[in-house]
């Protein structure tokens, strides 16, 4: 009896302890990326049923059950090779499948699947039951699946993807960049209590942070949240908001007793006065707090959402510049496409970070993420590095007149999903889409897209982009800011036309907020050329020497920094990227305007030009090093350096370098080369440290 009694006494507190742990368990988010199976079908395949991990397909009226799958882990794309070769790429359906066994104890919780990106249409099935569809290859989406899975047993998740171009989904074609097919970003399995922050509001965090009256003395932090419960009665809880500094220390807390309705959403707003905030100041000081929003019931944490907080104010003033926290901020801008040679768009966090760190090395302070919503990792990296960020939807290049609904959906998703990233200062509604009059589809839809962004987020700017160097086109007058893409000296005019154009804009439109949203030229790093010549045909030409790209950026950056009507500028592009429909410049299926090669292994001269201008770290670099086969005995040498004095030696003979277009551009005229190999050296001092660079030119 005593032995039995002792055992029972031991079991009772153990059961209570286990029950308390279950109650205390808040949101759980797990990686759902390993152990998938994959099958790429042909475009005529139509899937109708799923049976224990198998699939059926139709071919010439016969139904066949396939047993062969390829094992893959996510992220994964089925176009990593073919879309980078030519226009003969696969465009169509593929199937992904995975089995998993959720814990039986989770059956009283809620279960969701969150997809960060699927190209471009995704249909989700759970145990053969159709759950839903998402249209758009770049935004996140979430489905609740708890009512369709069997807890404690094996379940099958099936995702059918399709990246075939459609008139009703933006972008409507693959012309400017490829829409890679597959589940090319991570997937997450999320488990919450029945009372939780909303998970299915277009994959938003359910918590939205706004800032008012920001100064060094104080800031009003508004936390707006959407909550819901699947319990049958009102839930009496505490809504708790904690602001933590970058060490994790709680600096402010606010609590509020609320009732969560079992019907619909419960909306809550809390305001916290943050005294003497450490401001997020871009690359100058990207200081980040965090905000933890909690639902607490009887001392138990039911749900928690953690979001970044960068306290800052941003203002764009026409003709003067961008002001961050009241101080003028240098807008040294680049653009970025997400794909990479051999990987397509299925990139790891480490690869995203490598891209952002190369952009930081260049000295950039702002980034345009073109032409679509990019990975959440990229926005988080921009927060922590300090890049002011332009985020946009893929309403680009062409219109079909069927894309309105999808464009509006993607605009809302972009804003809701990325609302809390302090780095984002502007929302882009379109790029290079046109109508002839202000009454047609593009201006009307652009107004609606801008209104969606401004209604959801009144505190940020909106921008639309024209490919014409005309300011008052009706396509572009619906947003706060106008972006102008113009490639002076490439798609028209001469390199030196940018400066006079900017001066005319200053004269004619002094109160317009104008951004030069794209400029540059193609440059093949493997083609050297002694003479500076513009390619005769930039659409069908097969030779785009690097030196013309270099000269374009030298002259045009010098013009940009002299014209304050250009509030910000974004060179096109940080990296080369795939364009399946192109065959230009000596490399098939490639846009060669990147300053870094597609494989991220080589940096072009233009990269170092901007590094000399933007990055304060002392440097010296000899340009035109790949133009090394020379025919003229007398020639010019140019180098890029932010040192106050440089020395140039050719075969040991010293030459005087003079400033060129600005203080970072150094030129040596009338250098004498000898037949054969010529060793060219550049030297300079930063304090007591000597910096050097060297290249070799060969004279025939």
Exactly one of 432, 518, 551, 576 is catalytic; name it.
Answer: 432
Nearest-5° angle of CA 305, CA 351, CA 173?
90
Helices (H), 250-312: none
State the Cα–Cα distance between residues 90 and 40, nearest whole angstrom: 9
Token pair 């693959």: residue: 174
Q: With contact defined as beta carbons under 8 Å apart, do 387 and 355 qualify?
A: no
CA distances for 523 relative to 328, 544, 548, angstroms: 33, 5, 7
Q: Is 231 helix (H, G, I), strand (E, B) or coil?
A: coil
Token pair 């309403």: residue: 395
What are the structure tokens assigned to 375, written together? 């990975």
Nearest-5° angle of CA 20, CA 21, CA 25?
120
Q: What is the 3-state secondary structure (H, E, C) of 11-30?
A: HHHHHHHHHHHHHHCCCEEE
Q: List CB contacts of 579: < 8 A, sequence separation 6 or more.
A: 175, 176, 177, 178, 589, 590, 591
- Cβ neighbours of 323 (radius 10 Å): 14
State the Cα–Cα distance between residues 132 and 123, nearest whole angstrom: 6
281 burial via Cβ count (<10 Å: 0-12, 13-18, 19+): middle
Q: With contact defined as beta carbons under 8 Å apart, do 668 and 657 qualify?
A: yes
Nearest-5° angle of CA 685, CA 688, CA 693?
35
Q: In 3D, which of 454, 386, 448 has the Cα closest to residue 419?
A: 454
Token pair 């305001």: residue: 271
> Left (φ > 0), alpha (ψ -120 to 50) or beta: where does 687 sit?
left
C-alpha radius of gyration, the chain, whole number: 28
> What DSSP state is assigned to residue 474?
G
Pair type for strands 250-260 and 235-244: antiparallel
Distance of CA 595 to the CA centre of its chain: 18
- Phi then psi dihedrals of residue 53, to 5 deg: 85, 5
Nearest-5° angle of CA 644, CA 649, CA 651?
170
84 half-sphere exposure, CB direction, 13 A CA radius = 17
- Cβ neighbours of 196 (radius 10 Å): 25
Q: List CB contacts of 470: < 8 A, sequence separation 6 or more.
A: none
> What DSSP state is assigned to residue 152?
T
State the Cα–Cα distance between residues 638 and 627, nearest whole angstrom: 12
Catalytic-residue membership of 432 = yes
What are the structure tokens assigned to 110, written together? 């809620």
Q: Catalytic residue positions?
A: 432
């Amino acid at each position: 009896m005593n032995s039995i009694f002792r055992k029972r006494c031991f079991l009772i507190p153990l059961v209570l302890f286990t029950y308390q742990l279950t109650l205390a368990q808040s949101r759980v988010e797990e990686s759902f990326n390993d152990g998938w199976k994959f099958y790429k079908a042909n475009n005529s395949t139509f899937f109708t049923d799923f049976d224990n991990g198998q699939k059926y397909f139709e071919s010439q009226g016969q139904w066949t059950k396939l047993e062969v799958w390829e094992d893959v882990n996510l992220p994964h794309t089925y176009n990593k090779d073919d879309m980078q070769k030519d226009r003969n790429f696969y465009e169509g359906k593929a199937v992904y499948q995975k089995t998993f066994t959720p814990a039986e104890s989770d059956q009283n919780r809620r279960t969701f699947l969150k997809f960060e990106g699927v190209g471009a249409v995704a249909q989700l099935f759970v145990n053969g039951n159709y759950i839903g569809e998402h249209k758009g290859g770049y935004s996140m989406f979430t489905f609740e699946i708890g009512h369709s899975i069997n807890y404690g047993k094996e379940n099958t998740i099936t995702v059918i993807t399709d990246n075939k171009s459609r008139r009703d989904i933006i972008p409507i074609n693959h012309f400017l960049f490829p829409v890679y097919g597959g589940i090319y970003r991570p997937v997450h399995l999320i488990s919450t209590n029945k009372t939780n922050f909303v998970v299915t509001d277009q994959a938003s965090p359910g918590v939205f942070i706004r800032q008012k009256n920001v100064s060094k003395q104080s800031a009003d932090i508004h936390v707006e949240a959407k909550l819901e419960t699947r319990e049958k009665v009102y839930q009496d809880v505490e809504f708790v908001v904690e602001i933590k500094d970058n060490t994790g220390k709680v600096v402010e807390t606010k609590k509020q007793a609320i009732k969560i309705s079992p019907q619909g959403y419960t909306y809550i707003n809390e305001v916290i006065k943050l005294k003497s905030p450490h401001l997020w100041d871009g690359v100058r000081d990207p200081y980040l707090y965090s905000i933890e929003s909690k639902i607490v019931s009887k001392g138990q944490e039911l749900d928690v959402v953690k979001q970044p907080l960068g306290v800052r104010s941003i203002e764009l003033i026409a003709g003067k510049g961008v002001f961050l926290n009241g101080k003028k901020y240098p807008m040294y801008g680049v653009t970025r496409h997400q794909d990479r040679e051999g990987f397509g768009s299925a990139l790891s966090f480490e690869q995203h970070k490598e891209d952002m760190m190369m952009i930081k090395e260049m000295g950039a302070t702002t980034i345009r993420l073109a032409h679509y919503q990019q990975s959440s990792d990229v926005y988080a990296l921009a927060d922590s590095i300090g890049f002011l960020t332009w985020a946009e939807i893929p309403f680009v290049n062409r219109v079909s007149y069927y894309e309105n609904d999808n464009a509006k959906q993607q605009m809302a998703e972009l804003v809701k999903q990325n609302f809390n990233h302090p780095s984002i200062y502007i929302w882009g509604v379109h790029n290079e889409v046109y109508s002839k009059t202000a009454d047609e589809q593009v201006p009307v839809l652009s107004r609606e897209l801008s209104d969606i962004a401004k209604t959801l987020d009144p505190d940020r700017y909106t921008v639309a982009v024209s490919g014409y160097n005309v300011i008052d086109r009706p396509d572009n007058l619906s947003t706060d800011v106008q972006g102008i893409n113009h490639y002076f000296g490439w798609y028209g005019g001469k390199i030196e036309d940018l400066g006079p154009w900017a001066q005319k804009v200053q004269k004619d439109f002094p109160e317009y907020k104008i951004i030069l949203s794209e400029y540059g030229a193609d440059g093949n790093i493997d083609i050297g050329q002694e003479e500076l010549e513009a390619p005769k045909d930039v659409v069908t030409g097969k030779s785009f020497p690097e030196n013309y790209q270099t000269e374009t950026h030298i002259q045009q950056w010098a013009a940009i920094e002299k014209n304050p009507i250009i509030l910000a500028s974004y060179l096109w592009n940080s990296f080369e990227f795939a364009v399946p429909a192109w065959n230009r410049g000596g490399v098939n299926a490639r846009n060669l305007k990147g300053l870094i090669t597609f494989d991220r292994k080589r940096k072009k001269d233009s990269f170092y030009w901007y590094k000399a201008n933007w990055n304060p770290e002392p440097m010296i670099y000899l340009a035109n090093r790949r133009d090394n086969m020379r025919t003229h005995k007398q020639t010019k040498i140019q180098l890029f350096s932010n040192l106050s004095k440089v020395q140039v030696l050719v075969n040991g003979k010293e030459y005087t370098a003079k400033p060129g277009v600005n203080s970072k551009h150094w030129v040596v005229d009338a250098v004498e080369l000898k037949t054969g190999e010529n060793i060219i050296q550049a030297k300079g001092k930063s304090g007591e440290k000597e910096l050097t660079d060297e290249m070799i030119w060969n004279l025939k």
